[in-house]
Amino acid sequence: MLQKLARLILKTCGWEAVGEVPPLDKAVFVAAPHTSNWDGIWLLVYKVALRVDIRFLAKHTLFWWPLGTLLKALGAMPIDRSVAHDTVNQLIETFAAEDHLFLALAPEGTRRWKPYWKTGFYQIAKSANVPIVLAFIDYKNKRLGVGITLPEGQTLAQDLNSIREFYAPFTAAVPKRRGPITFPPEWEFHE
């Protein structure tokens, strides 16, 4: 019943769900652009409408009753952002322990403009040896869904170029809050 309701919400509001979830056991899904609280709401409606078994992180302060129960049922995992490095290691361990895990992350990390993306999604995917799948929301065309899986064996620069190219045509809810798709200049990935 919840799936039918989610599909009705998408249709009534004029949104088109596109793409297909790739046949993978594990993956990090990049959810972008992320400039509004509505992004998460629409992507949750998409998740329910298409019955995509994907988990996501939510601020630990949201896990009060009854909201916490609902969030967990929808696939939320509580996160305390004050210990970000520990979170990356915990999620790498979670991937190692699970047989099936799709994890959606919003690398913009905030709904404010930032000069770079957070690197956690990349660290987690590369360290856990799982693919990166690009998911999107496009407010101009009212489309949302799953796009490409990044090819294996690319360099960081190649991955970032692929990500930029993929997200270039999509319009954020608040375009002025959308920052560049890049990592901090001093950041390097070490395996």
Contacts of 87 (CB under 8 A, 6+ apart): 57, 79, 80, 81, 120
Give the single-character DSSP code of 173: S
Q: Is residue 110, in this structure, part of any structural domain at all? A: yes
Give the pLDDT of residue 186.
86
pLDDT in tens, 144-180: 999 999 999 999 999 999 999 999 999 999 999 999 9
Q: Is residue 187, in this structure, part of any structural domain at all? A: no
Q: Is residue 184, in this structure, part of any structural domain at all? A: no
* Percent with pLDDT over 90 in the chain: 84
Give the pLDDT of residue 59.
85
Distance CA 157, CA 62 (A): 36
Total of domains in the chain? 1
Q: Is residue 183, in this structure, part of any structural domain at all? A: no
DSSP assignments along 103-116, one per residue: EEE-TT-SSS--SS
Cβ–Cβ < 8 Å for 128, 26: yes
CA 53 → CA 9, 29, 130, 166, distances in Å?
A: 19, 12, 16, 23
What's this model's pTM, rounded to 2 decimal places? 0.92
Give the pLDDT of residue 84.
61
Q: Is residue 7, in this structure, part of any structural domain at all? A: yes
Cβ–Cβ < 8 Å for 137, 144: yes
Distance CA 186, CA 122 (A): 15
112 is in which domain, residue-wise?
Answer: 2-177
3 state SS of 59: strand
Q: Is residue 112, in this structure, part of any structural domain at all? A: yes
Give the pLDDT of residue 86.
84
Per residue of the chain (191 residues), what is the pLDDT tens digit? 999 999 999 999 999 999 999 999 999 999 999 999 999 999 999 999 999 999 999 888 999 999 999 999 999 998 887 766 688 999 999 999 999 999 999 999 777 899 999 999 999 999 999 999 999 999 999 999 999 999 999 999 999 999 999 999 999 999 999 999 999 988 887 66
Sheet holding 55-59, edge to edge: 16-18, 143-149, 132-138, 26-32, 101-105, 55-59, 76-79
Q: Is residue 126, in this structure, part of any structural domain at all? A: yes
Q: Is residue 185, in this structure, part of any structural domain at all? A: no
Give the pLDDT of residue 85.
63
Give the pLDDT of residue 191.
62
- Max distance between CA atoms of the chain, in angstroms, equals 49
Give the single-character DSSP code of 140: T
Tokens standing for residue 156: 């960081």
